[in-house]
Chain A
């Protein structure tokens, strides 16, 4: 106690101002560097040079300042003023120099300095680390009960298109991980629509190597754009999910349930969906098959889909995280019914013909998949990774189609009716294992891998086709009728094994060398039976039957070197594949033996220019072996108007692809620039030749192109930043791409060149209580074909808008609309425009707003007629399909959560 008392007394004495004046002082004049204006009331602080302890401070008076009563010693002067960068400099006072005069002290506005000075404590919303872009979820506001999808939409450079496909800086994201682990591996929508946005701490985007490259250790140049969703620590333990049910007009309904139980080591998740609105129940695989996207909500847009599916996921780690397992199972059934009609014009040198068809289609498909992964750290130097996948699919389909082709002068060329009834099954099984051993020397490791797979597909179909050919005068020339039963059985077995070896030559340089061998055997038995006399399909039609056996042996040798040091990393790789290929046909005495040497060079360079900017360059080359379909097509008559013929003399083509990516992001202002682009060309390209005979039958064949190289290029530039007052984010982007490709039409070479210009402006703002976005852009396409006098230039524009806002008493309202316009051109004599608008209104209940009642109107103006049109210099196609049109649906959604409460836990 006495000590405290004494100290207190000392403190008191210390504060008594000393009367003794001394002459140690510092002075100067504070001015703005740019305008040379004297800064009034700038804070001037003198600190001890050694420990930064505050000695004295004052404020400038019209720029001038003077601080007296200092002691001799070494000091640091700090001059600060709001919105200006801090000024700091050392100075010394001693008997020889008792007064230090700084003269003019120039201050620089922070906005001038851009980001040379980055304030430490402010959290940067985006970090660019190597080739990874990391977003801090806390910097983006989402509504209560929002999902990952709502968060992703706000990240600069991230877009989610109409079919739910996630696009980052112009590239499609094909994988989403949760905490670095697979979660319903191939279906990103099960992460984006299921995991809550408030559970996410960070979102990382990077390129992963392909599964094949990860297994073999051999670089194949394939990059998989991946998003890794990192959860916040306190949300890793808990129960959450969503139940949703809706009933609408015109017989539309949906029901959905998702439930998850997470703990730090274990994740369990189940889901089930049923519906016919095209918004639920379409798993990734269905979409890969039937549509362009992978998300729920897209099934290609044709027909009315009835979808039912369910799945479960489990992953767990144990034994100090040395062992981990990750499994998921999915099952889904999809029924679609559609009516469609198509009109297309086919341009021929000096002529054209028009074909039209009407059809109906019914399809049912049931599939199941199982993925399992087991990883084990055997000891501190060895890992074992194993993976298995099984997939089965069973379906049936019925289609009926009638069509006709008219010559350019309007005279009938042919008429056709076609019906198919079939069923099919497909089963596959894949298993891979990889063992990695790290050797004593740092960076040296060896890995061996082996894998195998088999597929079995079985289909049976009945084809009936009646085709009538007409002569130049439009009189019936001949008819051909097909009534066949076609069973097809095909099997593929594949085995592979290999090893790779990695070593560090120096601290910065590593090399990897590898070898892989694989053998695949494919048998394909396709038969066609005509109706025999006793009305049974027993009579083999050998012209349209085949029984192939295809044996493919490959040996792959690879070598790659990587350099990585500080700001620069670069690498080069080369691989050589020796492939032999043998095909035997049991029906005709046909044997084809081919050998190919395939080369695959690659190189990349990655340079971090500054904290905010990075540049990457990439090159990949590859030999493309012709497919066996192109070499020896299977004889088939399923479409008697389009026949394809193979060419056993085809040589491989070689393609080269160059790309660059330049990014700048300024964290303090949350703005940036993305420039990226690529250019690719193919030598010795395999091109098709379409020969149309007088009866309107197309025959397709292939050959290597000797004059000309097909090429493709793309340039993308995007700027984004915030408006000051309204604080919305603004994007300005321009995409220009072009391509040149070649084909033969009736044995004459045709060169088609296309350039597309697509400028676009987007604005958007997201807050917890409201959000809006608006986007407008146009596309202008210049396209010409050497064989045609008409050009296929197209002009159009597109616009979309959306808003959401909360209303008093927990009501909310929102709407979105998309408008598309294409002007008429030399091929189409009508403009095309379509406005699709959706709107919703509802009310949230409960304290956490986790019960929601909502009415939604889909396609309010009923303009989704299913009309599509497509044109190329060689012709155009217009089609109409059954689609989901205007309907209203009333739905109830319940979000449930229960996370471990940290309320009674001691906080520091």
Chain B
């Protein structure tokens, strides 16, 4: 009986059974959308020591949309990638917070495990040269389709305490991703940082031959390493009170 059923099912399963030589993308451009839940981000500005921000938060709820969407692109080939944000309108200073903006241009040298990040904040520009960010990844069974690619979910822990969820596709054999996300056995097409109310999802993957010249590290800014960068940020945040930790995460992510 079972054989008969399988036979019958196969009869009208017209799907091809010879999917052996799968095509893998080796270079191209991925468009990302970063979505932030502004209700939550603005609410974080209301801290014990800055209760005056509550008025702005309430005003935001009444007048502004819940989600802010920013666009970016990731140009990649087998050895390197360049993450470039698309300039967007500023958030009114009442509601502004680093997490609501894209402050980095990220060049990743995937062959040698190095990265060059041009970071812009408080009208200052830095050029951070250091190793690729190390993220502890835990594999899961869950899958979903992003921009037409089947992706597998991995949960990660980075900067010691920030929990991230990423989706990578094994159809692009490049261990990169948006911003500084990397280290999975395929291109990361989706990231969610649930506690920071922000997600990145690929909207379009274009396969193209990329001129290696277009993937060049950024050059502007004061040259620092991770440690020096951290010191610079801490200096800038000294008078931010208990909102400093929130801003730090926004600037480091």
List residues of chain A with CB under 8 Å of any chain B CB: 1, 4-5, 7-12, 14-17, 32, 35, 37, 39-41, 43, 45, 47, 51-54, 57, 59, 78, 80-83, 109, 111-112, 114, 119-122, 613, 664, 666, 669, 671, 673, 719, 721, 723-724, 730, 732, 903-904, 906-907
Contacts and interface: CB of A to CB of B under 8 A. Distances in A.
Contacts of B171: 82
Contact of B173 (A16, A35, A59, A664): A59
A4 B159 CA distance: 8
Given A9-B227, A43-B170, 20 more contacts: A8-B230, A12-B130, A12-B226, A15-B132, A32-B20, A53-B138, A54-B136, A54-B137, A54-B184, A54-B185, A59-B173, A80-B170, A82-B19, A613-B5, A664-B5, A671-B12, A673-B9, A719-B12, A724-B14, A907-B66
B48 interface: no
Contacts of A121: 142-144, 153
Contacts of A40: 21
30 contacts: A1-B234, A4-B160, A4-B248, A7-B159, A7-B160, A9-B227, A10-B160, A11-B133, A11-B159, A12-B225, A15-B113, A35-B20, A37-B20, A43-B170, A43-B173, A52-B140, A53-B138, A54-B138, A80-B170, A82-B19, A82-B22, A83-B19, A114-B9, A119-B141, A671-B12, A673-B8, A721-B12, A732-B12, A906-B39, A907-B66
Contacts of A14: 134
B141 A8 contact: no
Contacts of B150: 82
Contacts of B69: none
B24 interface: yes
Contact of A904 (B61, B136, B137): B61
Nearest to A725: B14
Contacts of A54: 136-139, 154, 183-185
Contacts of B205: none
Contact of B170 (A12, A15, A16, A82): A82
Contact of B137 (A53, A673, A721): A53
Nearest to B134: A15
Contact of A666 (B9, B37, B40, B159): B9
A72 to B, nearest CB: 20
Contacts of A81: 22, 170
A80 B152 contact: yes
Interface of B: 5-6, 8-9, 12-15, 17, 19-22, 24, 37, 39-40, 61-62, 66, 113, 130-134, 136-144, 150, 152-154, 159-161, 170-171, 173, 175, 183-186, 225-227, 230-231, 234, 248
A803 B87 CA distance: 46
Given A54-B139, A666-B9, A15 B173 contact: no
B185 A43 contact: yes
A493 to B, nearest CB: 54
Contacts of B113: 15, 17
B19 A109 contact: yes
A122 B143 CA distance: 7
A569 B226 CA distance: 65
A466 B147 CA distance: 81
Contacts of A666: 9
B134 to A, nearest CB: 4
- Per CB-CB distance, the 4 closest pairs between chain A and chain B, nearest first, are A57-B185, A54-B137, A15-B131, A83-B19
A721 B138 contact: no
Contacts of B14: 723-724
B138 A52 contact: yes
Contacts of A80: 152, 170
Contacts of B134: 11, 14-15
A51 to B, nearest CB: 6
A36 B132 CA distance: 39
A723 B11 CA distance: 11
Looking at chain A's contact residues, the main secondary structure is: mixed
A39 B20 contact: yes
Contacts of B230: 4-5, 8
A41 B173 contact: yes
Contacts of B22: 41, 81-83
B24 A41 contact: yes
A16 B161 CA distance: 20
B95 to A, nearest CB: 16
B159 A671 contact: no
A83 B19 CA distance: 7
A36 to B, nearest CB: 11
Nearest to B19: A83
B145 to A, nearest CB: 9
Contacts of A16: 131
Contacts of B143: 119-122
A296 B153 CA distance: 50
A327 to B, nearest CB: 41
Given A17-B113, A35-B20, A53 B12 contact: no
B15 A673 contact: no
A119 to B, nearest CB: 5
Nearest to A40: B21
Contacts of B142: 120-121
A107 to B, nearest CB: 10
Contacts of A732: 12
A80 B171 CA distance: 10
Nearest to B183: A54
Contacts of B24: 41
A4 B141 CA distance: 32
Given A45-B139, A671-B12, A903-B66, A11 B160 contact: yes
Contacts of B12: 671, 719, 721, 723, 730, 732
Contacts of A114: 6, 9
Given A7-B159, A15-B113, A906-B40, A669 B13 contact: yes
Contact of A111 (B13, B39, B132, B185): B13
A47 B231 CA distance: 35
Contacts of A906: 39-40
B136 A673 contact: no
A331 to B, nearest CB: 47
A616 to B, nearest CB: 15
Contacts of B139: 45, 47, 52, 54, 78
A671 B9 CA distance: 8
Contacts of A907: 37, 39, 66
A36 B103 CA distance: 50
Contacts of B62: 904
Contact of A51 (B8, B40, B138, B141): B138
A770 B27 CA distance: 37
A217 B150 CA distance: 51
Q: Which of A10, A54, A671 has the most chain B CB atoms inside 10 A of its CB?
A: A54
A755 to B, nearest CB: 24
Contacts of A51: 138
Nearest to B186: A43
A719 B15 contact: no
A121 B143 CA distance: 6
A396 to B, nearest CB: 57
A613 B6 CA distance: 12
A78 B8 CA distance: 33
Nearest to B62: A904
A45 B227 CA distance: 32
B154 to A, nearest CB: 7
Nearest to B37: A907
Nearest to A612: B5
A16 B130 CA distance: 10
Contacts of A719: 8, 12
